[in-house]
Amino acid sequence: MMTSDLAQDRAAGSLRQRASGASLGGREFRQKGPRRRPKDSMSTVSHVDEPGQHEDASRLTVQMENTYQLGPTEPFPVVVVNHILEDVLTNYLQEEHYEPELCRQMTKTVSEVIKARVKDLLIPRYKLIVVCHIGQLTSQSVLIGSRCLWDPKSDTFSSYIFRNSSLFALANVYAVYCE
């Protein structure tokens, strides 16, 4: 599932580059940087570097043409993304029972799927961060909070919590406008 998503993302990414090159006059680059887990069994990663992306040093010296655009042309559709989150979490987790290996894989899969579906909305100039937490529903207590330093006029987030009898899942999507 993940490899086919990656292929789709690459295709979508290259289409978008060509499209934006034709319509604007400058070139707008957007490169996908998913967090890939190495093949070990650790489910937490403190820093992942993508050596492949840094080789392209010529990107750093690209001068972008001024578009005189002050803000996003369309606001980020929070309600639509809420529905996407609800949809994805319900479809993937409704029937599932909590198991460590399954949920380890499921968090990664779900975050990739959500990212792909939000990208398909083709909201221009928005960078996305998708965070997914899945935990076992027992009598322990958990608190998850986040705070953001950004421009509240253009940046926003979307969130959904799913519960069934044995597990809970929280998915957050943060959308940051890219000048």
The contact set with other proteins (CB under 8 A) reads: 29-35, 43-48, 50, 53-54, 56, 59-60, 64, 98, 100, 103-104, 106-108, 110-112, 114-115, 119, 127-136, 138, 140-151, 155, 172, 174, 176, 178-179
Work out how close the CB of 59 gets to other proteins at its nearest, in angstroms, rounded to a whole number: 6
The pairing of strands 167-177 and 156-163 is antiparallel
- H or E element in which residue 137 lies: none
Work out how close the CB of 147 gets to other proteins at its nearest, in angstroms, rounded to a whole number: 4
Phi first, then psi: give them for residue 82, nearest 5 degrees: -55, -45
Whether residue 87 contacts residue 169, with contact meaning beta carbons closer than 8 Å, is answered with no
Of 27 and 30, the one with the shorter C-beta distance to other proteins is: 30
Work out how close the CB of 179 gets to other proteins at its nearest, in angstroms, rounded to a whole number: 5
Work out how close the CB of 164 gets to other proteins at its nearest, in angstroms, rounded to a whole number: 14
The SS3 assignment for 29 reads coil
C-alpha radius of gyration, the chain, whole number: 18
d(CA 29, CA 149): 24
d(CA 15, CA 19): 6
Of 39 and 147, the one with the shorter C-beta distance to other proteins is: 147
Of 82 and 176, the one with the shorter C-beta distance to other proteins is: 176
Of 4 and 140, the one with the shorter C-beta distance to other proteins is: 140
d(CA 172, CA 130): 6
Of 94 and 146, the one with the shorter C-beta distance to other proteins is: 146
